[in-house]
Structure 1
Amino acid sequence: MADMLGNALSALTSYQRALATTSHNIANADTEGYSRQRVDFATRVPQQMGDLSIGSGVTLSDVRRVYDEFAGQQLRSASGAFSQLDNYYQLASQLDNTLSDSELGLSAALSDFYDSVQNLANDPASLSARQLLLSEAESLSGRFSQFASQLDTLDTDINNRIQASVNDINDLAGQVAKINSSIAEAQGKFGSVPGDLLDQRDQALLKLNELVNISTVEQDDGSVNVFIGNGQSLVLGEKSNSLHTVRSAFEADRLEVSTSTSETGIISDVINGGSLGASLSFRDGLLSDTRNELGRIASAVASSLNDQNAAGLDLYGQRGSAIFAQPAPTAIAATTNDGDATIAASLNDVSALDGRNIAMRFDGTNWQFNDAGTGQSLSNWTGSGTAADPFVIDGVSISLSGSVVAGDRFLVKPTESASANLTVVMSDPAQLAAAAATRSGASSANTGSASISETLVVDPNHPNLTDAVSISFLDASTYSINGAGSYSYAPGEAITINGNTVTITGTPAASDVFSITENTGASGDNRNMLAMADVESLGILSGGSASVKDAVSGLVGDIAVATRSAELNRDAQQNLLTQAQATVESISGVNLDEEASNLLKFQQAYQAAAQAASVANQLFQSLIGAIS
């Protein structure tokens, strides 16, 4: 009877705990990250009675969570990748919408401006057409400024995202460290860890991996160490190490991620994965490239239009003045420099601009130039850095003054601020130079069949551009210029003099004379304005191989491709994430039908054990009654 009662009581205890576990599963059916728990039963050590072994009941050997480590790792990886791609796509979409709008985008703004140039070319003496062109120039300047402002807004948004991500990472790292402490304590006291603690830690690690790519190493006491970047520790057992946001040494409004409160601990360039990695890679990649390329286009627009206007004559008979202020590069000395050197930069050759930022460092003896974005070493520089012999690299002249000491750093941004600084400086529409600066002519006394083309100004800055030039033929195959020299004549071959180019075709006779003179009194001439209308398609960038139109199409196209690619990758990753979630749910999720079945099974077993205990009690009472 004692054996029977002991067996029944062990069953009552075990099934009561099984019922409690089942009810716990039911209660947490909708708890995020909860893994269902299962009870394992085992027989007690039997009692030996002579040659017989009599069972002594049941015991609850384990209450364990149903969890697959591999499936959990797959979910963590898929979730982190989706978070990264989703955040990147959101940012890229904003950038795409800013520049590709059919009515307010970059292409539309330039198209409207060049339409007004063509309109003036059609009526070069019209003051209203001239005023319209200046108005469109103001609008173009305003659009570039607005684009720059929108990129600044996006930059501010990224700063906010970085700060929020760092705060969340620190909170989650602290949670993991606390849970590690509880797990290590449970492991030490009881030799096992409650499944709920493991679920809480796994959920914290999942959310942490959505913010930044992490790696984990499990310790003997059940705790896990968490690392980010190139092995920087975030959690070591029961201790968490906080991340910080610090201001860049070159830009006060740019946040960097650091393991300390100073610039020495910056790890932004090694952080990857998760929403934080996406924010950093987008800012330092697509956003920075877009800002630089937009500035390169603005610089090219200002330079090419100013040069072309200088190649003509305005309504006052004067050489055309600048329409736009030429944006200057940005040059910054690091706030951590020990020397007192200041840096200045100016544009040297717009066609050599390539849109990259230049990092400079002095090692005590030599200068080092690197691509600020990729870190690639640059060797295409000349000069010594003085005002008389400036450094020249990527179309920029750089000079320093003051003392430089080893370790001093500088950053040059040739085009980053050009879009924001593109402003119209011309206010008088009569100063628009529609007429060409020079014209050609043939003497009325010529007897040959040769003719001369209109002049083409190829160097508006030539000091003798408008000086009178006389081309006199000595015979049908040779000519002199201003009475000097003897040059071979080839029909249709370009003749370049004082920044002007002409071609003579046909057969000249001896003593035939052709001239190049200043184009005075030519208010109806539209040659220079026609040339200005063609500037958009001229090869003035990338060493003469790309036009402004090409650059705009390339910029808008690259952003569209990057955005579409991010969208497709995000959607593909969403499917992988859904599959990973389904796999984990199928293994660890609570099935209410199954739990209801277990509840009924354990309830019946509990009731049967209670009945067995009641029978044992009755038998015991009967025995006591018989003895007494």
Structure 2
Amino acid sequence: MADILSNSVSGLLAVQRALTTTGHNVSNANTEGYSRQRVEMSAQMPQFMGNGYIGTGTKVDSITRTFDQFVESQLRDATSDSSRLSFVQDFASQVTGVLGDTETGMTRSTEAFFNAAGDVASNPTDITSRQAFLNQAGALTDRFNRMDEQLAQLNAGLGQQADAITREVNTFAQEVADLNGKISTAFAQNPNALPNDLLDRRDQLIQNIAERINVRVDDDGAGSLNLAVGSGQSLVTANIASELTAINAPSGLEIQIEGRSITNRVTGGDLGGMIEAQNTLIQPLRSELGRTAMVIAQEVNAIQKDGFDLDGFQGEPLFNVGQSDPNAPMMGNVTASPRNGSSVSAKVEISDATLLESGRYVARYDGTDWNLTKEGGSGGTIPVDDVPGMTITFDGITPDSGDTLFIDAGLGAAGRIATEDLSPARVPAAGGVDHDNDSGTALVSAGSRDNANIQQITDLANQAVVGRSADDELDGQTIGGAISSAVSQAGSVARTAELQGESARAALDNLEARKQSVSGVNLDEEAAKLLQYQQQYQALARSISISGDLFQSVLNAVR
């Protein structure tokens, strides 16, 4: 009925809803992920009174949230990228701390070792110099061991963090699935009256997931948001959440959804940063340090065995790299993929450590043969017999098609290198075996002051013996240069992540500001609305009071 009382009552009820919503906005001004809500009103259907239409008041159509889906999608991607770079930068700082500076790092230890060899060369019969040489050899291996152990601990820490993060993601994903169910029910009842606070909570949960792993979001048009990692492995479908797991296998971090590997699709968030840190820092550094340790052991031992000690006896090896017999060949590292169907493995024997290339090889069984490729390389298949510096022998176990082995000669070798227990007199500083001699030996008198052999160890510091090719002995790096390159690589990764991170954070800040400009609660604006609604409420209350007075006047007139 079109009258002042019903019109005022409808307006009063609508203003009450607006006041409640405004108060809700003010209460959640600092709530993370909250989107400002707004009451949408419209005039009610007018009533025809013969000579025209009379208004019948107002009604509340809906309560909507101010929200920009495009900005939210961009913010989600920017969050994943920023989190990845932030993790890599922080982790790189930890790694560079392990590597040390020029005074305390690995380079300093190698220099001290070769300088000690030079001191023996200057005074071959001096026991003190010989003992200092042995001490520096022990300090060098200790430094290799300690550095590899610290890098291995950082790697183990990555696995623990990845496990904790996947459990957080699973918690968030399950809540998203639960909210999908509630929102879909509301959508089925009225697509235009959805629970705004549940929508905000779901978007915030997805944002939390994006901070940890890159996700793609698809709207199914029925109230649910489906989440997938990378190009399509489902994390949440409608009201069902899949389980995300992380395995820190010897071959590297393995991220799985319901047992299926998605590692190659994880390119953002903290998990993406962990995979990148492992692939660009931990594994390459451990491999490079191990390769250098193998070169030192091989080359120094070869020189040692060609020399003679103070008593005229032929020298013995100074180093070993995990062998029970230091004269036995060194062995490379082989790790199996956790997805292998068999227990197949391989043996890698180091034939010449100076020929070993950086990086690791991937051997994959195609059902008939093993195909060997260089990880991250653009080249094709490499014949197994043509791998520089090593001999690969696959064991007799029949592999399943698709089984994969990762071959990295240097990985972990720095943690295995050790010095043999030699006395100072047993340091073979003198002479050198004449291999052209029929007997293959040289006669060196006891107490000889000859320094020819120890001088070769001193000279080794300036020789390009790391990563050389078989047909060019000058295209490699020196031992100190190889270590410096590895350390520089870690610093380069840190610097690149820092620069890219600054750009990513700037983009993220800009998107967050854009979101706030659309969805954020402006307290000044809400205060103005409260004043407006208060005045409107008072006016409507006055209208109701007037309608009561008029009705009372009518009653009085007919008494």
Q: Give, in angstroms, the shift of residue 26 of structure 1.
A: 0.4
Q: Find the counterpart in structure 2 of residue 582 from structure 1.
A: 513
Distance 1:223 1:336, change over 3 A: closer
Which among 295, 300, 322 is matched to residue 295 of structure 2? 300
| 1:437–1:569 CA distance, 2 compared to 1 (3 A) | same
Q: 2:495 aligns with which of 554, 564, 578?
A: 564
Q: Deviations over 1:51-87 (max 9, x none)?
A: 2111111122232111122222222222111111111
Q: Does the aligned pair in 2 maintain the 1:466–1:518 contact within 8 Å?
A: no
Q: Distance in 2 between matches of 1:585 and 1:128?
A: 72
Amino acid of the structure 1 residue aligned with 2:522: N
- For the 8 Å contact 1:284–1:373, the answer to whether it is kept is no
Q: Does 1:368 align with 2:371?
A: yes
Secondary structure (helix, strand or coil) at the match of 1:132 reads: helix
- How does 1:355-434 map onto structure 2 within 5 Å? 355-372=358-375, 377-382=380-385, 393-407=387-401, 409-434=404-429
Tell me, yes or no, if the aligned pair for 1:435 and 1:522 is still in contact at 8 Å: no
Identify unmatched segments of 5+ residues in structure 1: 383-391, 439-459, 469-516
Indicate if the aligned counterparts of 1:292 and 1:416 stay in contact, CA closer than 8 A: yes
Deviation string 1:313-356 (CA, Å, 9 cap, x unpaired) is: 22122232111014521235667767776632211111221132
Report the CA distance between 1:618 and its aligned residue: 0.9
Deviation at 1:269, TM superposition (A): 2.4
Name the residue aligned to 1:389: none
- C-alpha distance in structure 1 between counterparts of 2:343 and 2:508, whole Å: 54
2:218 alignment partner, SS class: strand
Matched, 1:268 2:271: no
**Is 1:220 paired with 2:221?**
yes
| Contact 1:65–1:195, Cα closer than 8 Å, also in 2 | yes
Q: CA deviation at 1:568?
A: 1.6
Q: Secondary structure at the match of 1:419?
A: helix
| Equivalent residue number for residue 315 of structure 1 | 310
Q: How does 1:137-148 map to 2 (within 5 A)?
A: 137-148=137-148
Note the C-alpha offset of 1:40.
2.3
Q: Match of 2:527?
A: 596
* 340 and 542 in structure 1: CA distance in 2 versus 1, 3 angstrom threshold: closer
Higher strand share: 1
Measure the CA separation in 1 of the matches of 2:539 and 2:490: 71
Give the equivalent residue in structure 2 for 1:331: 334
How far residue 406 of structure 1 moved from its aligned partner, in angstroms, is 4.5
For structure 2, list consecutive stretches of 5 or more residues without a partner in the other structure: 322-329
Alignment partner of 2:357 out of 348, 354, 361: 354
The answer to whether the Cα contact below 8 Å between 2:311 and 2:445 also exists between their aligned partners in 1 is no
Match of 1:256 in 2: 254
Out of 439, 443, 459, which is 1:534 matched to? Answer: 459
Q: In structure 1, how many angstroms separate the alpha carbons of the residues matched to 2:339 and 2:181? A: 40
SS at match of 1:415: coil
CA contact (8 A) 1:357 1:412 kept: yes
Distance 1:296 1:394 in 2: 13
Identity %: 31
What whole-Å deviation, never above 9, does each CA across 1:256-279 have from its counterpart, x for those lacking one? 221234xxx222222111001111
State the one-letter code of the partner of 1:257.
I
Query: Does the CA contact (< 8 Å) of 1:324 and 1:426 recur in 2?
Result: no
In the alignment, the residues of structure 1 paired with residue 340 and residue 406 of structure 2 have an alpha-carbon distance, to the nearest angstrom, of 12
Residue 97 to residue 340, structure 1, CA distance change in 2 (3 Å): closer
- Which residue number in structure 2 is paired with residue 499 of structure 1? none
Q: 1:341 to 1:49 in 2, by over 3 A?
A: closer
Alignment of 1:113-512 (within 5 A): 113-191=113-191, 192-246=193-247, 248=249, 255-261=253-259, 265-326=260-321, 327-332=330-335, 343-372=346-375, 377-382=380-385, 393-407=387-401, 409-437=404-432, 462=435, 464=437
Q: Distance in 1 between matches of 2:338 and 2:554?
A: 95
Aligned residues: 543
Please tell me the residue identity of whatever aligns with 1:296. R
| Partner SS for 1:216 | strand
Q: CA deviation at 1:182?
A: 1.4
Q: Mark the CA change 1:247 to 1:542 in structure 2 (over 3 Å): closer, same or farther.
A: closer
User: What SS class does the counterpart of residue 363 from structure 2 fall into?
Assistant: strand
Q: Write the distance in 1 (CA, Å) between the matches of 2:312 and 2:182.
A: 87
Could you say what secondary structure the match of 1:101 adopts?
coil
Alignment-derived partner of residue 442 in structure 1 = none
SS at match of 1:312: coil
Comparing 366-375 with 561-570, which one deviates more in the overlay? 366-375
SS in 2 for 1:41: strand
- Give the counterpart letter for 1:416 in structure 2: L
Supply the distance in 2 between the matched residues of 1:14 and 1:465 (Cα, whole angstroms).
111
Q: Which amino acid letter does the alignment assign opposite residue 404 of structure 1? A: T
2: distance between equivalents of 1:338 and 1:175?
A: 35
Q: Report the residue type matching 1:610 in the other structure.
A: A
Identify if the C-alpha distance between structure 1 residues 59 and 339 changes in structure 2 by more than 3 Å, giving closer, same or farther: closer
Q: Which moved more, 1:424-433 or 1:119-128?
A: 424-433
SS in 2 for 1:346: strand
- Cα distance change of structure 1 residues 365 and 55 upon mapping to structure 2, 3 Å threshold: closer
Residues 150-174 of structure 1 show CA distances to partners (whole Å, capped at 9, x for unaligned) of: 0111011100111011111111111
Instruction: Supply the RMSD in Å over aligned alpha carbons.
Output: 2.3
Cα distance in structure 1, aligned partners of 2:454 and 2:101: 28
CA contact (8 A) 1:100 1:107 kept: no
Q: Structure 1-normalised TM-score?
A: 0.82
CA deviation after TM superposition for structure 1 residue 2, in Å: 6.0
CA distance in 1, matches of 2:343, 2:520: 64
Normalized per residue, the structure richer in helix is 2
Quick check: 2:331–2:347 contact (8 Å CA) kept in 1? no
Is this contact kept in 1: 2:125–2:447, CA < 8 A? Answer: no
Do the aligned partners of 2:229 and 2:266 also contact (CA within 8 Å) in 1? yes
Report if aligned partners of 2:156, 2:248 keep a CA contact under 8 Å in 1.
Answer: no
Contact 1:333 / 1:343 at 8 angstroms: preserved in 2?
Answer: no
Change (3 A) 1:401 1:77: closer
